[in-house]
């Protein structure tokens, strides 16, 4: 695991996406290239009454500007305060943290399973793969949300050239239903191919993706969430039970785990 | 003139009085990725038990106002794996190593300490007789004077390096327990461990910890810790390590003025993992500003009304 | 359907379970300038003693992380002036009046309560057997089971309205004290009073309070209070009034789930003096959202692991 | 005493004066005319880690805009955060609080003794007296500071037409020395007049003003400071000893006390 740095940095750019979703670009930061898809940062706003940092997946990096992007949804105390940040404001971040995704073989077909605020790391993974010369047509990006407003950065995703499969529960964008349904169809249809799963999203989605992986013997990785007091592996607060017994720390052994590795 | 941060406790010299508290710094490996451990006076390991423990189910922690509750359940690798897999890493890190030991029976404390007796990198042992998170009686030791004395005296028979007794704040009279620990042979007292607390999720109506209750730590408890350190300092003669809610050099100064010779930083590491670096730097600056040659000049110097 | 906020404690009906805590609302006059007192289930007066007390010299308070320390020193007008000058104001305010009584000897508690016996506006008396701020032994009563029982039994002989015993958190086993209070005849238990704490000014090296130590209150202590309420609820049968760090309706719900029938709001009044208005409103909204007909449906309903 | 209101309001205008001094105009607020010179507000910034409110003297009111002004100096935790407030930001205030100044008789000559952040209430008193038709020449405004940068709002003061006597310790503006020296000279010189003192400033200045009043039998009022947890009289934390024995609450019986009333 690489070293992590704890430092003040600035809001370079803030953008309201849709609904309660925001993008924040933070920098300047040293060694931005050490940030890999799956890594997260641990963020703190100064002088707030929220004592602990919050974890945010890195959504992309801008090496020329020594900056990184996170995408967040306003759901509680910290994110509400983050939504009032302005360009030039100071935040403190600890980065990069966690274990990153393992890239697929170029011969494999990747199934991205994204939901809600689980979208950012998979977008990073996808854009990273494009830079590494992967064929966009080997990536099927399934993106689920309750409604159209939950499906972020559509044009950005499309620009990568990957095969985009939006799914919404209310049918307001893309196919109607849960994202796992078309994925199972896809898996059945492409049984012969070497498939690989990458999932990040709400608990139910992760469970379903994990089950699909186990059921159809598709290797892959899941990125988990857990309340993280420390983010660096010292408090033992963020653990998840392992199928092999015992616990693993989501912040240190994860957040990226292999399909079948953890009890969801 | 650079102020002298060195402190000597029970014959052992520490580069500075800043230690990391048990359970808040693992076995040192993770923190070393954020700052060099030699910054620290000492690292205090997570509580080590005779057998490995996986700890309580999640949720194990909950955020509270300026603090947190935890009921990790003494998750640790067990003394054998600790000595084999974890201790070697600490050997060349140029910091003192204090191993925190927990148990549910006196014999367990004795057995663990006996194994640590022959490990050269171990400078001291801190007996956690005050952990509120084990049913088998972890806290009982620390809230009963006779049991405290007996536990420490028993360990003293097998462990010859300095022994620290870590005291619980959850008692009517901490001085009584401190005296018993001294009586039992503890060369050092450390205080406080976490304060018993609870929190309930108003949506699910379940406790926020699977253990139902847990230990409150962080800045919220600093005033409680200071009052306890003050009380013990005025009643006992052995050196004191102050613990509880420390986040900055100013907090360290408060504890030393109340009588602490050194301090441990716990929850603050979760908020700012490299905070010891800043504390050491700011402590030097403070001493310079006050024209003090040594950090030892602060000890017990509170000017009571 | 508007949820029912009424609660009955020891035969006395309260419009809602929100009370203001002793020492945080004076004798009601100042708060009434910010919001109508009839918003409250009850107002609990500052501790009343037999003779007037001017209290400790300043500084008497210090801010801490999510809390404060105070050592006011039971400053109050004394029982006679209270009855003559302060009580009449409360008579027509359409809220229940609970008079908090403190003393340094059992006889003092008895004398004060005897005078309150014949004051119709007084609905209940709360015995402060747990104030950590008087040298003469204020806290001793509350940390000794026998003394607790005796104090309450003595007061019962002269005071016939319901008696609340206010318990100290600064004890090893609050259940033991709670049982003694019940045994002595207390119809209600209120908890917690403040937690002993200290803070030092690192510039002057003096304590931040002239009393050297004081009582820690505010959101910082809420987890401690919840754990104590839970422990007492599971051991005693009399109704409990929960106190400690309450700032919002969600906090009230936590206390009630742990077994409190009503609650008192203290330090939060300093931050947001009209916070009871908001709490009453938000509590109603919560009950509606949860489809509960009465606030009483929350009592003790925590779903332990 | 009037009723007090606790409510959210907005930063209408923020201005950096000199050095670490700022002016904040807050509103809209109801019943702004209830605010009298000597009254203070109790202010809280949302979501901060500073738990207690801080007291600020009202520096002026703008009845047409239903707004009031405070002037503060950055010295600690709360004021540092206040210095980052921007127009449109929300703050919560409790107002008006305390006992206001008693106006002098029109036949009297007023001696204002201002220092540091004790200046705002005396500026309010002065401007208030102007509106009430007092002759500006009956007001001698002594204003002390360490250096020129501590003497605020000079042109505003001059505009009132009062007799302005700036004094700085380093002599960088006005007379050199402590403000109490020229005041004593003035008192000796105008012994025959009916004088009245109004003082607000650091402890030493208040002590000196109080002593001058006692020594030369000049009636007057002092506005005190004290740490104020509640600001409304319920915590008993802000007390000051009275010469007659016992204590008074600075927030409720004060902050304005008569010369000779309190032990300083
Ligand atoms: C590795 C990792 C990566 C992450 N990446 C992202 C990301 O890219 N984008 C993103 O937006 N988020 C991400 N998160 C989540 C993020 O860290 C925060 O948890 C989230 O933003 C909520 O923080 P908050 O302070 O706003 O909400 P909080 O106030 O902490 O509340 C969080 C949610 O839980 C609920 N809640 C609060 N308290 C309780 C309680 N006691 N019981 C039950 N529910 C409660 C709230 O209602 C709210 O819905 C990630 C988390 C992890 C661990
Ligand atoms: C009635 C009244 C009116 C006021 N009017 C004004 C006004 O108009 N303008 C204005 O600027 N202020 C005014 N004040 C003062 C104001 O309320 C605050 O106290 C002040 O702004 C400092 O707040 P802070 O949080 O920034 O500083 P804090 O962090 O509270 O620190 C305040 C000062 O005390 C020092 N200090 C902090 N802690 C301690 C300690 N433990 N021991 C010793 N010193 C310590 C700090 O170094 C700093 O100098 C008034 C106060 C009162 C009571
Ligand atoms: C997550 C967590 C785990 C802890 N585990 C232990 C432990 O295993 N043994 C022990 O003696 N103390 C343990 N403690 C208590 C700390 O060592 C320390 O006494 C306490 O946290 C107070 O210090 P703080 O406020 O600086 O955190 C733990 C504390 C926390 C927060
Ligand atoms: C300034 C202050 C004065 C207090 N005075 C008394 C008192 O006179 N009698 C008493 O029984 N409790 C007194 N208390 C304790 C409160 O009633 C309450 O038990 C305690 O503050 C915890 O509640 P809180 O966290 O909501 O403030 C006082 C508390 C404060 C902050
Ligand atoms: S968040 Fe502390 S160990 Fe993972
Ligand atoms: S500030 Fe609370 S009584 Fe004055």
The CATH code of domain A5-97 reads: 2.40.30.10
Question: Given ligand 2 and candidates C203, C206, C270, which is best to mutate, with the most ligand atoms within 8 Å of its CB?
Answer: C203
Contact B251, B17 (CB under 8 A): no
Active-site residues of C, by number, are 131
How far, in Å, are A77, A229, B281 from residue B40 at the CA level? 34, 22, 12
What per-residue confidence (pLDDT) applies to A217? 95
The protein residue with its alpha carbon nearest to ligand 5, atom 3, reads A233
- Count up the domains in chain C and report the number: 1
Task: Let me know if residue C1 belongs to a domain.
Answer: no
What per-residue confidence (pLDDT) applies to C274? 95
Work out whether the CA dihedral A149, A151, A153, A155 comes out positive or negative: negative
Q: Tell me, using a 6 A CB cutoff, whether residue D44 lines ligand 2.
A: no
Work out whether the CA dihedral D77, D83, D86, D87 comes out positive or negative: positive
**CATH code of the domain containing B221:** 3.20.20.70
Burial of C10 (0-12, 13-18, 19+ CB in 10 A): middle
Q: How far is the C-alpha of A87 from the C-alpha of A75, rounded, in Å?
A: 21
Q: Among B30, B60, B61, select the one facing A233 at the smallest CB separation.
A: B30
pLDDT tens, residue by residue, A59-71 = 999 999 999 999 9
3-state secondary structure of A163: strand
Chain B, 1-60: which have a CB under 8 Å from a chain C CB? none
Three-state SS annotation for A3-54: CCEEEEEEEEEEEECCCCEEEEEEECCCCHHHCCECEEEEEECCCECCCCCE
Q: pLDDT tens, position by position, for chain C (305 residues)?
A: 789 999 999 999 999 999 999 999 999 999 999 999 999 999 999 999 999 999 999 999 999 999 999 999 999 999 999 999 999 999 999 999 999 999 988 999 999 999 999 999 999 999 999 865 555 555 567 889 999 999 999 999 999 999 999 999 999 999 999 999 999 999 999 999 999 999 999 999 999 999 999 999 999 999 999 999 999 999 999 999 999 999 999 999 999 999 999 999 999 999 999 999 999 999 999 999 999 999 999 999 999 99
Task: Let me know if residue B259 belongs to a domain.
Answer: yes
Neighbours of D248 (CB within 10 A): 18
Contact C246, C263 (CB under 8 A): yes
Q: How far is the C-alpha of B61 from the C-alpha of A227, rounded, in Å?
A: 8
User: Does position B133 have pLDDT exceeding 60, yes or no?
Assistant: no
CA D212 remoteness from chain centre = 19
Instruction: Flag if C224 and B200 touch (Cβ within 8 Å).
Output: no
pLDDT bracket for residue D163 (50, 70, 90): very high
Task: Delimit the domains of chain A by residue range.
Answer: 5-97, 109-258
Q: Is the ipTM of this complex over 0.90?
A: yes
What per-residue confidence (pLDDT) applies to D19? 84
pLDDT tens, residue by residue, B151-184 = 999 999 999 999 999 999 999 999 999 999 999 9
Distance B113 CA to ligand 5 centre (A): 28
Distance D230 CA to ligand 6 centre (A): 5
pLDDT tens, residue by residue, D208-262 = 999 999 999 999 999 999 999 999 999 999 999 999 999 999 999 999 999 999 9
What per-residue confidence (pLDDT) applies to D1? 54
Model confidence, pTM: 0.96
List CB contacts of C214: < 8 A, sequence separation 6 or more: C60, C61, C62, C69, C70, C71, C132, C133, C194, C196, C197, C198
pLDDT tens, residue by residue, C151-196 = 999 999 999 999 999 999 999 999 999 999 999 999 999 999 999 9
Q: Which domain holds residue B83?
A: 7-298
Q: How far is the C-alpha of C100 from the C-alpha of B235, rounded, in Å?
A: 34
Q: Tell me, using a 6 A CB cutoff, whether residue C63 lines ligand 2.
A: no
Q: Compute the 3-state secondary structure of chain B and give helix, strand, coil in percent, each to the nearest 5.
A: 35, 20, 45
Task: Let me know if residue C304 belongs to a domain.
Answer: no
CA C70 remoteness from chain centre = 15
Strands across the sheet with A90-97, in order?
A54-57, A40-44, A90-97, A5-16, A21-27, A67-73, A60-62
What per-residue confidence (pLDDT) applies to B137? 53
pLDDT tens, residue by residue, A150-181 = 999 999 999 999 999 999 999 999 999 999 89
Q: How far is C13 from chain B, CA to nearest CA, in Å?
A: 26
Contact C99, C126 (CB under 8 A): yes
Q: Among B25, B58, B67, select the one facing A234 at the smallest CB separation.
A: B25
- Beta bridge mates, D256: D223
User: Does position B135 have pLDDT exceeding 80, yes or no?
Assistant: no
| Chains in contact with B via at least 3 Cβ–Cβ pairs below 8 Å | A, C
User: Does position B7 have pLDDT exceeding 90, yes or no?
Assistant: yes
Nearest to B261 by CA among B134, B168, B124: B124
List CB contacts of B17: < 8 A, sequence separation 6 or more: B5, B7, B41, B252, B256, B260, B261, B262, B263, B283, B295
User: Does position B12 have pLDDT exceeding 80, yes or no?
Assistant: yes
What per-residue confidence (pLDDT) applies to A19? 84
pLDDT tens, residue by residue, A115-162 = 988 999 999 999 999 999 999 999 999 999 999 999 999 999 999 999
- Say which residue, B263 or D48, is predicted with more confidence: B263
Task: Let me know if residue B303 belongs to a domain.
Answer: no
The CATH code of domain A109-258 reads: 3.40.50.80
3-state secondary structure of D67: strand
- Say which residue, B141 or D73, is predicted with more confidence: D73
**Torsions phi, psi of A220, nearest 5?**
165, -175
What per-residue confidence (pLDDT) applies to B140? 67
Contact C187, C163 (CB under 8 A): yes
pLDDT bracket for residue B1 (50, 70, 90): confident
Task: Let me know if residue C2 belongs to a domain.
Answer: no
Q: How far is the C-alpha of C182 from the C-alpha of C165, rounded, in Å?
A: 9
Task: Let me know if residue B305 belongs to a domain.
Answer: no
CA-only gyration radius of chain C, Å? 18
pLDDT > 90: what percent of chain B? 93
Nearest to D232 by CA among C25, B160, C13, A256: C25
Q: How far is the C-alpha of D205 from the C-alpha of D54, rounded, in Å?
A: 22
Q: Which chain C residue shows the shortest CA-CA distance from B290? A: C203
Judge whether A47 is closer than 8 Å to chain D, CB to CB. yes
What per-residue confidence (pLDDT) applies to D2? 66
Residue of B24, B25, B131, B258 marked active site: B131
What per-residue confidence (pLDDT) applies to C136? 54
What per-residue confidence (pLDDT) applies to B214? 96
Chain C, 201-240: which have a CB under 8 Å from a chain B CB? 202, 204-207, 209-213, 216, 218-224, 226-227, 230
| Chains in contact with D via at least 3 Cβ–Cβ pairs below 8 Å | A, C
Distance C206 CA to ligand 6 centre (A): 22
pLDDT tens, residue by residue, D76-103 = 999 999 999 999 999 999 999 999 999 9
User: Does position D14 have pLDDT exceeding 90, yes or no?
Assistant: yes
Judge whether A48 is closer than 8 Å to chain D, CB to CB. yes
List CB contacts of B5: < 8 A, sequence separation 6 or more: B15, B16, B17, B41, B280, B283, B284, B287, B294, B295
Neighbours of A184 (CB within 10 A): 15
Bridge-based pairing of strands B195-197 and B188-191 is unpaired
Q: Read off the tokens for D68.
A: 């009031």
Contact D100, D257 (CB under 8 A): no
What per-residue confidence (pLDDT) applies to B142? 80
């Amino acid at each position: 695991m690489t070293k992590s740095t704890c430092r003040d940095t600035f809001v370079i750019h803030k953008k309201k996406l849709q609904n309660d979703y925001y993008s924040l670009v933070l920098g300047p930061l040293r060694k931005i290239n050490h940030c890999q898809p799956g890594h997260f940062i641990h963020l703190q706003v100064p002088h707030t009454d929220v004592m602990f940092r919050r974890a945010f997946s890195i959504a992309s990096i801008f090496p020329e500007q020594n900056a990184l992007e996170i995408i967040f949804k306003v759901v509680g105390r910290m994110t509400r305060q983050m939504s009032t940040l302005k360009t030039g404001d100071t935040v403190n971040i600890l980065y990069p943290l966690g274990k990153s995704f393992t890239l697929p073989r170029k011969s494999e077909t990747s199934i991205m399973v994204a939901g809600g605020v689980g979208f950012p790391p998979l977008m990073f993974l996808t854009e990273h793969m494009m830079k590494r010369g992967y064929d966009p047509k080997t990536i099927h990006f399934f993106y689920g949300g309750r409604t159209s407003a939950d499906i972020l950065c559509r044009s950005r995703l499309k620009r990568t050239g990957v095969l985009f499969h939006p799914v919404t529960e209310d049918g307001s964008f893309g196919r109607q239903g849960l994202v796992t349904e078309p994925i199972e169809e896809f898996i059945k249809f492409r049984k012969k191919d070497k498939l690989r799963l990458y999932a990040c999203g709400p608990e139910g989605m992760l469970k379903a993706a994990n089950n699909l992986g186990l059921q159809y013997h598709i290797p892959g990785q899941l990125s988990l969430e857990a309340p993280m007091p420390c983010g660096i592996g010292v408090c033992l607060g963020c653990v998840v039970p392992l199928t092999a017994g015992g616990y693993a720390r989501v912040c240190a052994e994860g957040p990226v785990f292999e399909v079948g590795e953890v009890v969801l | 003139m650079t102020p002298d941060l060195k402190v000597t406790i029970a014959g052992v010299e520490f580069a500075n009085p800043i230690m990391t508290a048990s359970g808040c710094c693992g076995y040192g490996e993770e923190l070393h990725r954020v700052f060099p451990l030699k910054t620290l006076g000492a690292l205090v390991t997570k509580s080590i038990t005779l057998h490995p423990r996986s700890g309580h189910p999640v949720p194990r922690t909950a955020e509270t106002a300026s603090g947190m509750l935890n009921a990790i359940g003494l998750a640790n690798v067990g003394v054998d794996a600790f000595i084999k897999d974890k201790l070697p890493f600490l050997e060349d890190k140029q910091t003192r190593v204090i191993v925190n030991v927990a148990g549910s029976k006196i014999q367990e404390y004795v057995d663990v300490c006996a194994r640590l007796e022959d490990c050269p990198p171990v400078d001291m042992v801190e007996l956690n007789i005050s952990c509120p998170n084990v049913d088998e009686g972890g806290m009982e030791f620390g809230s009963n004077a006779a049991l405290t004395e007996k536990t420490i005296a028993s360990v003293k028979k097998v462990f010859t390096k300095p022994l620290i007794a870590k005291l619980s704040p959850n008692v009517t009279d901490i001085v009584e327990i401190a005296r018993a620990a001294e009586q039992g042979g503890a060369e050092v007292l450390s205080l406080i461990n976490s304060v018993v607390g609870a929190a309930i999720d108003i949506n699910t109506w379940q406790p926020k910890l699977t253990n139902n209750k847990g230990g409150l730590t962080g800045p919220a408890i600093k005033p409680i810790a200071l009052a306890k350190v003050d009380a013990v300092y005025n009643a006992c003669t052995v050196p004191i390590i102050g613990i509880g809610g420390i986040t900055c050099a100013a907090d360290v100064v408060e504890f030393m003025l109340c009588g602490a010779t050194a301090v441990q930083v716990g929850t603050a590491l979760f908020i700012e993992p490299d905070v010891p670096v800043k504390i050491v730097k700011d402590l030097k600056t403070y001493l310079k500003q006050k024209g003090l040659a040594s950090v030892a000049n602060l000890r017990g110097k509170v000017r009571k009304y």
